[in-house]
Structure 1
């Protein structure tokens, strides 16, 4: 049995800093909770059911579209029954079970059921190609696979001849959960209890494969101890998020992929902390709005793309209603309020004026009770963080990787610092290497990359430090700012080093811009490829009477190009002249996972972009000389 996190600390833990040449080069923060020494994640549903069997653990949607609650006792019973079904089908302790589905109750149920049966789960993105799916199943040595629908089943079935170790394939839409329950009816309860008893904190819990921006994905072996260290310290640090005041129980709606470590970690943290959880399979369509209205979350987790869409949609709605100027004034007030440590009376009054007119509408669109958003996956940018803070929604920004079980740094709710990703998560150390690379160390850092030949993980280093490949700096208080990827640094033909991330992040914050790729490696100057957000573009066309123009005509429209140029000019203010964008090209297509230009976690595949848009890139340099 694992012990739940203790009550919150009354004072923040003081970080330990190491200075070299007057700069902070290393920061560590002591853990807020002791390490879990026995048990596993498989115990959590059983512990919750014993502690408070009638507590609401989940909100689910039935086939008729009605939402209902699942108690802690019901969830534990579901976990136990499905675990027995996995045992009945011959899966043994340590076997790998792949899960390929969107974000649903069944995903979380199977995750915990697999752990209760002593298995190791292997997430597969539901949008993965046949090759990606086969690689993950093959490399992990998965014995069983659960998919959501017939299309995914066909993807796996087409590769079965190359997967001799894959003995079982279940389809959720075909009643996989009920099939497992029925199969498990003949298995004694004590069998699952014995399986859980074999697990320790150091047992592998999951193999999470990286998105693979440059090559084949690698399996990150995460242990039960990695998850405990991550979620226990996060729950304690973010106590106002997971245990809001005023007697209001915490709730969240998960809509990011559980195949990604960010969503997965928060799902586990919610079960650990007793937070009510709802699931929405996608951020698109009415399902998300329906889930927000039904669950009425007190906090959400999101990637910057989602928060950008919320802001831009609200602004477009205001413009359509003839209230654009009002919205823009409210946005400016929110940003000023969000970055003020002690807002003056006049600013507080202005915020109070705009709250019912603008801010309350945004909170209402998110269910009406949201007080915090946990943002991760990519830098958010200070402008959006300040806006949401001023609108009454605190942004908790974090930074981490699959290899660190998600967050390695987190901005505390009571000490935000927009533009940074916060100080180290308690129990974590951050070091800035001589070349500016961010290194991480702590009990949440993974066991190593999976080695299919050895059937185990190979430790990543001897000293515990994990080099992230990211570049960053620490301020005097130990807050980390990430400035880009080492491998993405551009070196112009004049020898100038350029970090593309700040320019790209700024441009992506513009409502018309979907994606941006900054270029210039071994070139005389910096350029950019820009793609347009089709939803925002449709609104822009309607408002300006340009619906009759084809997309290719719009990308040459002087008014539209002028809008993008002004956005580029704003971004260029962030950097020196030699680092500024001197030319850009607006593309007629969007970068997407389907096009092969984005990973499932929406990271750019730069090699693919450089390859597929080589002509457009050459045109930006071909007739411009050396400017």
Structure 2
């Protein structure tokens, strides 16, 4: 058993079929399966010649790229261990990963990664060599070499090392919203069995004709496991290095599948709503009619019921008049979009469903090789995170905590036996740290993170994520953080969506010099107070936000306020804005 075995199968079955796509200058290039196998095998042999043996660690410190995935597969093929480092990590964050894992070789992406790696050679005794992806980066250290030069003399022939299912494949350092990142140990068996379970669960037809677009960081277990799954099934995967270019590249790449986080879908949803609201009454009427028809049509498909001819004709018209234009901006071919990393509102999943884009909502952690439960292609239930994968068991333990067993569960945290012991029960169940419920049909619903649950001084429990989602689904709210722990009532820090707010300020003839000026304007403050009250009108009184503070900027990753997977580090934010928070509770 070796994750990389699919290279041999696919090179035999689809030798000339495109395997991977990548940006090359202004356009896109690709490698077929035969060529990809050759590149991976040459890279694997070069690693062996550099002294890398079974069990040695190879770090990858780069944005998504063809080189990222070829180095990963080459490392796995010879039985070594891939250690991904987020491309956004600072030198000190990367240093923690290298020191803890004992990585011997590091692949770098851009100049900043290379410069950081040079400094790490002095500070990390295990690190022996830097491999530089970009040929235009000047080699300035004798322990570094360009990737092309590194692999050029290596042989194309390789026997992929046969691994046992409990042999270590990768150590992934959790981005974590709290504490020091811990190295999650995942085995070859975790991945291979997870792939088999997904194919059994979905029963895809002609999967080798699919095309996935990797735009989430490969360092994260979600994108990495999905990408390897897609490739193992013979599908093509294209890699986007510059994630900010997603909107302009989607129509060019035209993928059929792509995984993302809820915020991506929220932004699309908000943008469409804004466009419709500023359209003529006739266009609004056509859009709402199309959405209604799409909802009816896909509700019957979801329930596996026959669709009347009249509804099919209406849907074809709705698709021509409305949906095709929206889907065209997403490339025109997207139909399957795994969605995870945080909770997503049912109305957004239903909205995409009506257009014929299936948001495959799922739930899992790095420690569970991503997926524990997810939506099937039909009979899924909105508002849940779907049903468990084959080979996975889930039950609800004390304090409503979700406990899991099965193929994807990690071996433990690297070098952290005490931390490992804390997350397993005596009888071997993994403690997810999330609260949830399971209904009669076996659908799992996440209610919140145990560590995120807040208890007011009145003894009421507040689940922040649902309310924060409610707020950020609105076009005027970019980010929201609820405060309630140990307090007498709920408050919130709100980051406005300044693009929409500035448009409103123009309409209201509000003059301002900066965002700080804008958020202090009494008209703006009153507007947000009214908006928050309107959005939360259906919440219980103890859940309602009593006061808000508007912030002049987004939460930033480089300031430690967000993780590389765009989750807000609640503890950091609460500490950083402590004075502002205290101000909201003065006199109480």
- What TM-score does the superposition give when structure 2 sets the normalisation length? 0.90
Over 3 Å counting, the alpha-carbon distance change for 1:495 and 1:575 in structure 2 is same
Over 3 Å counting, the alpha-carbon distance change for 1:333 and 1:223 in structure 2 is same
Match of 2:451 in 1: 487
Over 3 Å counting, the alpha-carbon distance change for 1:184 and 1:391 in structure 2 is closer
How far did 1:75 drift?
0.6
Match of 1:259 in 2: 219
Matched, 1:62 2:24: yes
Cα distance in 2, alignment partners of residues 429 and 540 from structure 1: 50
How far did 1:532 drift?
1.9
How far did 1:539 drift?
4.5
Residue correspondence of structure 1 range 194-593 to structure 2 within 5 A: 196-240=160-204, 243=206, 249-285=209-245, 288-319=246-277, 325-326=284-285, 329=288, 333=292, 336-337=295-296, 341=303, 354-451=318-415, 460=424, 463-541=427-505, 546=510, 548=512, 550-593=514-557
Cα distance in 2, alignment partners of residues 226 and 601 from structure 1: 22
Over 3 Å counting, the alpha-carbon distance change for 1:98 and 1:458 in structure 2 is farther
Asked whether the 8 Å contact 1:473–1:481 carries over to 2, the reply is yes
Match of 2:92 in 1: 131
| CA offsets 1:124-156 (integer angstroms, 9 cap, x no match) | 100012221110111011111111011111222
| CA offsets 1:355-404 (integer angstroms, 9 cap, x no match) | 33432222101111111211111111101000000111111100000001
Cα distance in 1, alignment partners of residues 503 and 79 from structure 2: 52
Over 3 Å counting, the alpha-carbon distance change for 1:470 and 1:611 in structure 2 is same
| CA offsets 1:432-486 (integer angstroms, 9 cap, x no match) | 11310111111111111101799x9999555331101111111111101101111
SS at match of 2:38: helix
How far did 1:417 drift?
1.4
Cα distance in 2, alignment partners of residues 434 and 591 from structure 1: 34
How far did 1:331 drift?
8.2
Over 3 Å counting, the alpha-carbon distance change for 1:223 and 1:137 in structure 2 is same
How far did 1:426 drift?
1.4
Asked whether the 8 Å contact 2:291–2:355 carries over to 1, the reply is no
Pick aligned residue for 1:148 from 82, 93, 109? 109
Where do 5+ consecutive residues of structure 2 fail to align?
138-143
Match of 1:605 in 2: 569
SS at match of 2:45: helix
Cα distance in 2, alignment partners of residues 551 and 82 from structure 1: 50
How far did 1:574 drift?
5.0
Match of 1:50 in 2: 12
Match of 2:141 in 1: none
Asked whether the 8 Å contact 2:257–2:336 carries over to 1, the reply is yes
Matched, 1:72 2:36: no
Over 3 Å counting, the alpha-carbon distance change for 1:510 and 1:449 in structure 2 is same
Where do 5+ consecutive residues of structure 1 fail to align?
1-38
Asked whether the 8 Å contact 1:99–1:122 carries over to 2, the reply is yes
Cα distance in 2, alignment partners of residues 252 and 547 from structure 1: 46
Asked whether the 8 Å contact 1:316–1:539 carries over to 2, the reply is no
Matched, 1:159 2:123: no
| CA offsets 1:203-235 (integer angstroms, 9 cap, x no match) | 111000111221100000001100012122113
Asked whether the 8 Å contact 1:448–1:460 carries over to 2, the reply is no
Cα distance in 2, alignment partners of residues 108 and 465 from structure 1: 32
Cα distance in 2, alignment partners of residues 149 and 345 from structure 1: 55
RMSD of Structure 2 on Structure 1 (CA): 2.9
Asked whether the 8 Å contact 2:130–2:145 carries over to 1, the reply is no
How far did 1:159 drift?
3.2
Match of 1:95 in 2: 56
Cα distance in 2, alignment partners of residues 184 and 391 from structure 1: 46
Over 3 Å counting, the alpha-carbon distance change for 1:168 and 1:327 in structure 2 is farther
Cα distance in 2, alignment partners of residues 251 and 547 from structure 1: 48
SS at match of 1:585: strand
SS at match of 1:300: coil
Asked whether the 8 Å contact 2:45–2:154 carries over to 1, the reply is yes
SS at match of 2:585: helix
Cα distance in 2, alignment partners of residues 542 and 416 from structure 1: 44
| CA offsets 1:263-314 (integer angstroms, 9 cap, x no match) | 00111011111111111123313xx244323321112111111111222233
Cα distance in 2, alignment partners of residues 265 and 52 from structure 1: 22
Match of 2:585 in 1: 621
Over 3 Å counting, the alpha-carbon distance change for 1:95 and 1:141 in structure 2 is same
Asked whether the 8 Å contact 1:339–1:386 carries over to 2, the reply is no
How far did 1:54 drift?
1.7
Asked whether the 8 Å contact 2:59–2:105 carries over to 1, the reply is yes
Cα distance in 1, alignment partners of residues 72 and 24 from structure 2: 20
335-344 or 207-216: which moved more?
335-344
Asked whether the 8 Å contact 1:82–1:181 carries over to 2, the reply is no
Asked whether the 8 Å contact 1:279–1:291 carries over to 2, the reply is no
Higher relative contact order (CA 8 A, sep 6+): 1
SS at match of 2:520: coil
Cα distance in 1, alignment partners of residues 496 and 244 from structure 2: 18
| CA offsets 1:91-123 (integer angstroms, 9 cap, x no match) | 122110111111111111111011123210011
Asked whether the 8 Å contact 2:468–2:482 carries over to 1, the reply is yes
